[in-house]
Amino acid sequence: MSGREIKYIKEAFETNWIAPLGPNVDAFEKEIANYLGVSDAAAVSSGTAAIHLALSLLDIKQGDIVFCSTLTFVASANPILYQGAVPIFIDSEPDSWNMSPIALKKAMEDAYKSGKLPKAVIVVHLYGQSAKMDEIITLCNQYGVPIIEDAAESLGSFYKGKPSGTLGKFGVYSFNGNKIISTSSGGMLVSDDRELINKARFLATQAKDPAPHYQHSTLGFNYRMSNILAGIGRGQLEVLEERVKARRLLFERYKNELGLLPGVTFMPELIETSTNRWLTALTINESVTGFPKDYLLKSLADENIEARPVWKPLHMQPLFEGTKYYPHTENMNVSEDLFEGGLCLPSGSNMTIEDQNRVIAIVKNCLKVKV
């Protein structure tokens, strides 16, 4: 917490606005929309809820197909199953670790030939790095398929001058406890289509009809954000730029100290993009280092330092066994390679230089490099 949140929380208590409605919710939505330069935003209970609402608003139903990035957390794809739709997973590409336009092109061509195009494409901006949106938008426009940007991890990142999450039909953000700014739990759905965002608010509030009694003609959800949590979000949003600066500085220190070591490769940053570096991610090439990434993870854990593997690709998850998947190329599965050697180092905005030096020393020790 930054300390600025308490002002808004206190206001919520003093005015007795503690429900999933209220001045903080309204203000947080406006402040996020203004920051992103979009027409409107709806504050909801999680990023997952925001994806689910986006799919509902696009009228995705039982049996419909939705393309989704494979290298991501399961929450990106679970809402596809909520709707009874069928996910098809798209591999990553090496330049951004995000959705491969090459694989997407092949998937679109096959879908067009079969007469069943996807009803949406969910593009994930992994660890804060934007995907190759120009290529992806061109492909999706060619086939008339709307894009949902899962920008859960990329608030504060930019693609060619535009905020990540503002280039598709919908953008989705998460304010979970581990994100660059947090409301403890929460999310935001954004769009330039005000009518659809208003409908999202309606659906997220149990789809209550405008009647003096409780009347419901449409299936709705209990997805609205509380006024207290929105107050936390308002205080957090005020320090977003500081958080991005801190995380980018952490990344630069890691890269300067470790980037030239044999077998270590850091997640790249696309030209004309600026990532918030939500997490500092790298790969360990076992054939060069002589040890797998798990050895480094254990070495850090032995010193009470938590690091994590990169996301396990969704097409490899038991939940999605048998689901169709398109690799980057016939002989190249980028997401699988990244999972095999990839890990995320401690990246908290409040990490001290001393904390970071401990991590760096352990990595160097594993590589037998003199500290």
Residue 61 backbone phi and psi in degrees, to 5: -130, -175
Residue type, 332: M
Coil, strand or helix at 332: strand
Residue type, 189: L
Coil, strand or helix at 87: strand
Query: Cα–Cα distance between 27 and 49 in angstroms, integer?
Result: 20
Residue type, 128: G
Coil, strand or helix at 62: coil
Look-up of token digits 């859960």 = 152
User: Which of the following is catalytic: 106, 119, 179, 293?
Assistant: 179
Query: Cα–Cα distance between 332 and 255 in angstroms, integer?
Result: 26
Is the distance from CB of 24 to CB of 234 less than 8 angstroms? yes
How many other β-carbons are positioned within 10 Å of the β-carbon of residue 137? 17
What Rg do the C-alpha atoms of the chain give, in angstroms? 21
- Which residue from 60, 80, 76, 50 is spatially nearest to 204, judged by alpha carbons? 50
Query: Cα–Cα distance between 196 and 243 in angstroms, integer?
Result: 31
Is the distance from CB of 76 to CB of 69 less than 8 angstroms? yes
Answer yes or no: 179 catalytic.
yes
User: Which residues sit opposite 228 in a β-bridge?
Assistant: none
**Active-site residue set:** 179
